[in-house]
Structure 1
Amino acid sequence: MAEIPPLIPKNGAPYPTSISPSTTRIGWIGIGVMGESMASRLISAGYSLTIFARTPSKAANLQSLGAKLVNSPVEVAQSSDVVFTMLGHPQDVRRIVLEKNTGVLSGLGPNGVIVDHTSSDPGLAKEIFAIAREKNCWAVDAPVSGGDIGAKNGNLAIFAGGDENVVDWLNPLLRIMGSKVSYMGGAGSGMSCKIANQIIVGANLLGLSEGLVFAGKAGLDKGKWVEAIRGGAAGSMVMELYGGRMIERDFKPGGFAEYMVKDMGMGVNFVEGGEDDGVVVLPGAALTKQLFSGMVANGDGKLGTQGLISVIERINGI
């Protein structure tokens, strides 16, 4: 197992060279649809968690499993070797991680590690990494894909950016939550990978929505239609996760529709290095962003992403 170079002794002793429930203190911030399931898997694996919740009542389930609730992100960091964050938007990450005196990096000790699972901005991930290194800490951007089912079952795909040795060192923790951990490169690479992932997910959700609406208009049994095509070229993980939910009108969120607007926006508005010649033209992602924005405008931003079919239905007078 790779080791984190012990730049500065922690508490008078070398930094632990291995991860285990008896030696590694875990902090967790962000206990929404995904975060609660991911955190509970770490507790089930024997790790002690210190948590912070902006809405303390949401922490009740994790507390019942043994997690300790504290009052601020900095308190989580002060009690942890590794702090995980799973938040909604980049501005949330900036506030929770970087805010002076109260943020995670104000309390994390030397060689401590922050792992951000939020689907966030690559530029912010690079900024956090640089500030963490100034404090002799480490930062890894590690967004995930797989939805609420993947989070519950530990089958998430995890895309990691940062120092490769640190990612390798974290692998025992990451593999509790994900069945596949991919190192993508330097700081920000994990976030860029997730944006590209979401571009494909958005396109698949749109195609599946339009296919279901067409099948219904053509008089087909939608369930039979999904079964007929799922093993062919049209089949996808999106279909496996959401096809049945769309047919049953189950729009319970595994990921909020409003977050897809954010994710598509980061792709559509991407400018590498801030230079005009680095703009990526993504007409499909731009259309998908517009349709998800329609969901938000209809008051459905808190529905699951599979609710995109409702926009296609509205367009067709259904």
Structure 2
Amino acid sequence: MEEEQITAARTRVGWIGTGVMGSAMCARVQAAGYHVTIYARTPAKISALCLNGAASVESPRAVGERSDVVFTIVSNPSDVRQVILGTDGVLSGLAPGGILVDMTSSQPSLAREIFEQATAKGCDSVDAPVSGGDRGAENGTLAILAGGRRETVAKLEPLFRCMGSATYLGPPGSGQTCKLANQITVAGSQCGLSEGLVFARKVGLDVRKYLSAISGGAAGSKVMELVGERIIERDFATGGPVKYMAKDLGMALEEGEKREVSLPGSALLEQLYVSLKANGGGELGLPSFITAFERLNNLSSPLPTNK
């Protein structure tokens, strides 16, 4: 018998995780015509999604009971474990044949554990963290980094296409491993961007002209495109919270130690992000990373915009 394909007409979608990223991603799945069942600890956060037809339920288990495919994008690995593998978690309610898709930035080892427990119940799982920030979530242009069974990732393509473009990386845990490498790269790019801006400001350059001048050369990057203007405008409210980058780099260092991979740059950057948290900036967006370098250089006033 041919395996049933995923379509808006017959596939029930579950969703857990309605922060800035999750809400925008879920809304795009809804806009494609899928019926969505949502669990949220704070019902007010899902009011707009419910107005558009989503059903709100009282537990992760209830999401599993009413869904064929369940997406999770929560804060930390401990949250992932609770909402998926907990006593009242999604897997306890998901029927055989159901698929779990965890899009949280989490631990590769936990992704493999979820896959094993899902398989034991006759279900399946994919670890599919994302890159692209709040703008990517809103515009449906996220890079989706997928690990698991190749055929399952291919089957999920109609849903992934609502949110961005998926790349199959390999067996369970590969998506999370790729996301850790991604965060190492993003943090390094942001370090260079921030230090360059602080240097330009200290030596008296017009920082807006500076960014414009270098953006088309070797220094140009997606990170510059996404956060460069936000840094100059002091828009620190968006771009993904600092606390999550600190978490991701911490996980990368843990994984590196297990695999005997030396990551000296990541160790320094993780401490700089932790310093932002220590100064009360954990909830600020990634453009605020520049303030760590401003403090080191006795710069506290806003960057000049020179419009």
TM bracket, shorter-chain basis: over 0.9
Q: Give yes or no for the alignment of 1:314 onto 2:295.
A: yes
Match of 2:186 in 1: 201
Distance in 1 (CA, whole Å) between partners of 2:2 and 2:237 is: 43
Q: SS of 1:270's equivalent? A: helix
Q: Which moved more, 1:263-272 or 1:293-302?
A: 263-272
Report the number of matched residues: 299
- Is the contact made by 1:122 and 1:192 (CA closer than 8 Å) also made in structure 2? yes
- Is the contact made by 1:258 and 1:301 (CA closer than 8 Å) also made in structure 2? yes
Distance in 1 (CA, whole Å) between partners of 2:2 and 2:13 is: 15
Identity across matched positions, percent: 54
Q: Identify the match of residue 98 of structure 1 among 61, 66, 85.
A: 85
Q: Identify the match of residue 38 of structure 1 among 25, 37, 53.
A: 25
CA displacement 1:87-117 (0-9 Å, x = unmatched): 11100000000002x1010000011000000
Distance in 2 (CA, whole Å) between partners of 1:123 and 1:161 is: 12
- Is the contact made by 2:256 and 2:262 (CA closer than 8 Å) also made in structure 1? no
Amino acid at match of 2:120: E
- Is the contact made by 1:159 and 1:191 (CA closer than 8 Å) also made in structure 2? yes
Amino acid at match of 1:170: L
Match of 1:74 in 2: 61
Q: Give yes or no for the alignment of 1:286 onto 2:267.
A: yes
Runs of 4+ in structure 1 displaced over 2 angstroms? none
Amino acid at match of 1:124: L
- Is the contact made by 1:253 and 1:302 (CA closer than 8 Å) also made in structure 2? no
Q: Superposition pairs for residues 113-128 of structure 1, below 5 Å? A: 113-128=99-114
Q: Which moved more, 1:212-221 or 1:189-198?
A: 212-221
Match of 1:170 in 2: 156
Amino acid at match of 1:161: G
Q: Superposition pairs for residues 185-264 of structure 1, below 5 Å? A: 185-264=170-249
Q: CA separation of 1:308/1:15 partners in 2, compared to 1, >3 Å: closer, same or farther?
A: farther
- Is the contact made by 2:64 and 2:90 (CA closer than 8 Å) also made in structure 1? yes
- Is the contact made by 2:256 and 2:263 (CA closer than 8 Å) also made in structure 1? no
- Is the contact made by 1:269 and 1:279 (CA closer than 8 Å) also made in structure 2? no
Distance in 2 (CA, whole Å) between partners of 1:160 and 1:200 is: 18
Distance in 2 (CA, whole Å) between partners of 1:195 and 1:232 is: 27
The TM-score, its normalising length taken from structure 1, stands at 0.92
Structure 1 position 234, deviation (Å) = 0.4
Q: Identify the match of residue 107 of structure 1 among 93, 96, 118.
A: 93
The TM-score, its normalising length taken from structure 2, stands at 0.95
Structure 1 position 16, deviation (Å) = 5.3
Q: CA separation of 1:286/1:202 partners in 2, compared to 1, >3 Å: closer, same or farther?
A: same
Match of 1:57 in 2: 44
Q: Identify the match of residue 147 of structure 1 among 118, 129, 133.
A: 133
Q: Which moved more, 1:239-248 or 1:205-214?
A: 205-214
Structure 1 position 253, deviation (Å) = 2.7
Q: CA separation of 1:214/1:271 partners in 2, compared to 1, >3 Å: closer, same or farther?
A: closer
Amino acid at match of 2:12: R
- Is the contact made by 1:140 and 1:160 (CA closer than 8 Å) also made in structure 2? yes
Structure 1 position 280, deviation (Å) = 1.1
CA displacement 1:195-220 (0-9 Å, x = unmatched): 00000000111111111111111111
Distance in 2 (CA, whole Å) between partners of 1:187 and 1:29 is: 21
Distance in 1 (CA, whole Å) between partners of 2:254 and 2:9 is: 44
Distance in 1 (CA, whole Å) between partners of 2:10 and 2:254 is: 43
Structure 1 vs Structure 2 CA RMSD: 1.1
Match of 1:23 in 2: 10
Q: Which moved more, 1:252-261 or 1:295-304?
A: 252-261
Q: Which moved more, 1:262-271 or 1:70-79?
A: 262-271
Q: Give yes or no for the alignment of 1:298 onto 2:284.
A: no
Distance in 1 (CA, whole Å) between partners of 2:10 and 2:244 is: 36
CA displacement 1:69-96 (0-9 Å, x = unmatched): 1110000110000000011110000000
Distance in 2 (CA, whole Å) between partners of 1:230 and 1:254 is: 19
Distance in 2 (CA, whole Å) between partners of 1:16 and 1:198 is: 36
Amino acid at match of 2:117: I
- Is the contact made by 1:33 and 1:253 (CA closer than 8 Å) also made in structure 2? no
Amino acid at match of 2:10: T
Distance in 2 (CA, whole Å) between partners of 1:16 and 1:165 is: 11
Q: Could you tell me which runs of 5 or more consecutive residues in structure 1 were left unpaired when the two chains were aligned.
A: 1-13
